[in-house]
């Protein structure tokens, strides 16, 4: 049973890390600010959720799981609003979206 749990934790952590890597790749490679924001925010939130889930499974204490869930919700809220504010400012500055 513990091997199964450890495997699940490992899988979740690695998938979360892959999502973070994907978000960072998007930040580096996408052509304009809106697409970069989109990649970074979405991928990082999902990655954090998977990592938090893996940590929760690994630790097992219900108080810690609650705090990890709160962490994920707060980071999502902050990330969402930051992304919105950055995109709004970029739009006000007049940056246009990338076209093919």
Partner 1 sequence: MVVLDALLALVLAGVAVATLNGLRRFRAVVLFVVFGLLLALIWARLGAVDLALAEAAIGAGVTGALLMAALDRLRRTESSRAVAGSAPSLWPVVLVALAAATVGMVAVLSLEPAGRPPVAFHLGASGVDHPVTAVLLAFRAWDTLLEVAVLVAAGVAVRAVGVVPSPPSTEAGPLQAGLLRLVVPVLVVLAVYLLWRGSHAPGGAFQAGALLAAAGVLVQLTRVPGPMDRPALWQRPAETIGLAVFTAAALITAALDVPLAWPEGWSKLWILTIEAGAAISIAVLLMRLFAGGAPVAAATSDPGKGRS
Residue ranges in contact with partner 1 by CB under 8 A: 70, 74, 77-78, 80-81, 84-85, 88-89, 92
Minimum CB separation of residue 81 from partner 1 in Å reads 5
* 61 and 8 Cβ atoms separated by less than 8 Å: no
DSSP 8-class letter at 98: P
Task: Please give the helix or strand (H or E) that residue 9 lies within, else none.
Answer: helix 2-29
Q: Compute the distance between CA of residue 90 and CA of residue 50 in angstroms, rounded to an integer.
A: 30
Q: Which is nearer to partner 1, 1 or 34 (CB)?
A: 34
Q: What is the 3-state secondary structure (H, E, C) of 61-92?
A: CHHHHHHHHHHHHHHHHHHHHHHHHHHHHHHH
Minimum CB separation of residue 84 from partner 1 in Å reads 5
Q: Which is nearer to partner 1, 7 or 70 (CB)?
A: 70
Q: Which is nearer to partner 1, 4 or 61 (CB)?
A: 61
Minimum CB separation of residue 70 from partner 1 in Å reads 8
């Amino acid at each position: 049973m513990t091997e199964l749990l450890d495997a699940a934790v490992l899988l979740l952590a690695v998938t979360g890390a892959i999502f973070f890597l994907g978000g960072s790749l998007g930040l580096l490679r996408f052509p304009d600010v809106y697409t970069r924001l989109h990649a970074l925010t979405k991928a990082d939130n999902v990655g954090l959720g998977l990592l938090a889930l893996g940590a929760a499974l690994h630790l097992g204490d219900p108080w810690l799981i609650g705090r990890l869930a709160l962490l994920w919700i707060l980071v999502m809220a902050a990330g969402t609003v930051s992304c919105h504010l950055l995109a709004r400012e970029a739009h006000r500055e007049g940056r246009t979206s990338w076209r093919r």
